Structure 1
Amino acid sequence: MINVILVDDQEIVREGLKMILSLDNQINILGEAENGKHLLEILPKQIPDVILMDIRMPIMDGVEATRLIKEKYPNIKVIILTTFNEDEYIFKGLQNGAAGYILKDSGIDDIINAIKTAYNGNVLLNPEVAKKVVKALTNNVIANENINSEVSSKLKLLTPREMDVTKLIADGKSNKFICEALFLTEGTVKNYVTRILEKLELNSRTELALYMKKVSL
């Protein structure tokens, strides 16, 4: 059973999500909150597997809430609920450790699949929005024009095995999948991921996946 907390300042949105998610017997709505501050207040008593988080909310938005949650509860997966015109918020949310994002007008199957994907440790990169996020990442992280050259230069810091792991992460694969594909233990994969992020000066596997997309821009 996947325990989920819904966070949105609009009750009608939360009710709609509850109706949608109730259609899947693998998902349990553990609780709900109307903003980031409210969420942080209930988390000590209700620890979910996945949080479905709106970006724009009063008192504390989803970006700041994601940062605080990942600092204190690193194992909780945060999925950002967004619209097409919130590029900067999406980018900051991913930097803060969100597992990915999904559009608010997504279909039932897409929302359910997003929760299961995040729960299984995979990265959520909606192709239509990913282009905007990669552009924002490019503008914020790399100032020079020769983007591919700089990315390629940093990638040379990785060992062949680290590069194998990096490519699988970029494809959205979970640690479990990587273990089986490369015949490694889970602990070894975790160590690889930590070293890769340190070498590339990145904060999360989601940011790594976006970083790798710049190679093919």
Structure 2
Amino acid sequence: MTENETWIVTKMKGYGCIGVFFLPFILVGIWTLGYSLNNIYNSQKTGDWTKVPATVAHIKLDYDNDSDGGDGTYEVKIGYKYKIGNKEFLGHKIAIGYSGGNGKEHVALFSKLENAKKIAVFVNPDDSSEAIIIKGINNSIVGVLVFSIMWNSFISFCLIPLFLKKGAKFNVKYAFIAFAVIWVTGFYLLFSDSIKIHSEDKIEVVESKKISDTDV
């Protein structure tokens, strides 16, 4: 067996152990990237959904306290009724990919919807049981995409050197700089307001609650 063949066999044996260790991390990267890209694609399809009026049935702002002493997460839960033809539907979805998180976004959404009696919702013309309040991309989608890019850059930084051919050069310095730039940029985008989407401004309130309708 030549030196090169021995090197290949040794590498192949090592790949098995490496694959088992990194497999969960790789799957997380693939899932988050696929999930965010799928939500981006689906959110763009909502552009031609049918706008109809809906009555707010119930709304609340859920708060999940962080057991580790963090800020916890907020999520708006809503139910709204709308009609297509003579059939009434009950919708719960706020936007494609919307999920809870910390920050002001969810409080702002709740404040806007809490005072609404009737709102405009957008119904999937191919499935009348599917409706949303906010069309297009939202912060939840952007957040998962940014996280996925950061996560996959970390996995790539760890794995690429291990799969290079014998004698191939890997410039650790430049790779680390690229990795650092991605992560610093990612943290900036996630925790600053530079790319924040004010989804509450996209909500169309058809009729606000009267003072007698509120609990005040």
Q: TM-score when scaled to structure 2?
A: 0.22
Normalized per residue, the structure richer in helix is 1
Indicate the structure whose relative CO is greater, using CA pairs within 8 Å and at least 6 residues apart.
Answer: 2
Q: TM-score when scaled to structure 1?
A: 0.22
| Larger Rg belongs to | 2
